[in-house]
């Protein structure tokens, strides 16, 4: 028996704002979308164009407040072939929420407060 990663899910409060952020910050693009027939939810899958792993963003119509992420001890990690340019871009966007220069990594936060780790490509 073998398992394969398919996707991770984040519930988002403002789908359009999140889609814009993920495209601008990480270059993720919509792969497919599912709209509930009754309008109660929308699921959008985002891909990076190179791996099969996807990020599933779920918007719920009846959610009337931003999600409570607790202590936010979870994150997704992304590698980048131009770490310095990515850091500059994210600094300009104002989305860097934590840096560990000794480890050579930093984290950005999306509009809902989910943390995304940015690492340089290992050489």
Whether residue 123 has pLDDT greater than 80: no
Q: Is-above-0.75 flag for pTM?
A: yes
Whether residue 1 has pLDDT greater than 80: no
Sheet holding 7-12, edge to edge: 7-12, 54-60, 41-47, 29-35
Domain ranges across the chain: 7-62+74-120
* pLDDT tens per residue across span 25-66: 999 999 999 999 999 999 999 999 999 999 999 999 999 999
Active-site residues, by number, are 117
C-alpha span between 54 and 47 (Å, rounded): 5
Q: What is the share, in percent, of the chain residues with pLDDT greater than 70?
A: 98
The top-level CATH class assigned to 7-62+74-120 is: alpha beta
Structure tokens at 110: 């999306």
For residue 64, with 0-12 CB atoms within 10 Å meaning exposed, 13-18 middle and 19 or more buried, which class applies? Answer: exposed
- 51, 31 contact by CB (below 8 A): no
Name the helix (H) or strand (E) containing 17: helix 15-26
Confidence bin at 17 (pLDDT 50/70/90): very high
Whether residue 114 has pLDDT greater than 70: yes
C-alpha span between 103 and 94 (Å, rounded): 21
- 90, 96 contact by CB (below 8 A): yes
* pLDDT tens per residue across span 57-92: 999 999 999 999 887 678 899 999 999 999 999 999
């Amino acid at each position: 028996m073998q398992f394969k990663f398919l996707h991770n899910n984040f519930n988002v409060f403002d789908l359009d704002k999140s889609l814009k952020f993920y495209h601008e910050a990480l270059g993720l693009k919509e792969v497919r979308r599912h709209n509930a027939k009754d309008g109660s939810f929308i699921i959008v899958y985002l891909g990076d164009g190179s791996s099969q792993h996807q990020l599933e963003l779920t918007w719920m119509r009846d959610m009337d407040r931003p999600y409570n992420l607790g202590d936010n001890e979870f994150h997704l990690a992304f590698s980048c072939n131009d770490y310095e340019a990515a850091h500059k871009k994210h600094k300009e966007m104002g989305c860097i929420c934590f840096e560990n220069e000794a480890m050579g990594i930093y984290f950005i936060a999306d509009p809902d407060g989910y943390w995304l780790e940015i690492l340089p490509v290992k050489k």
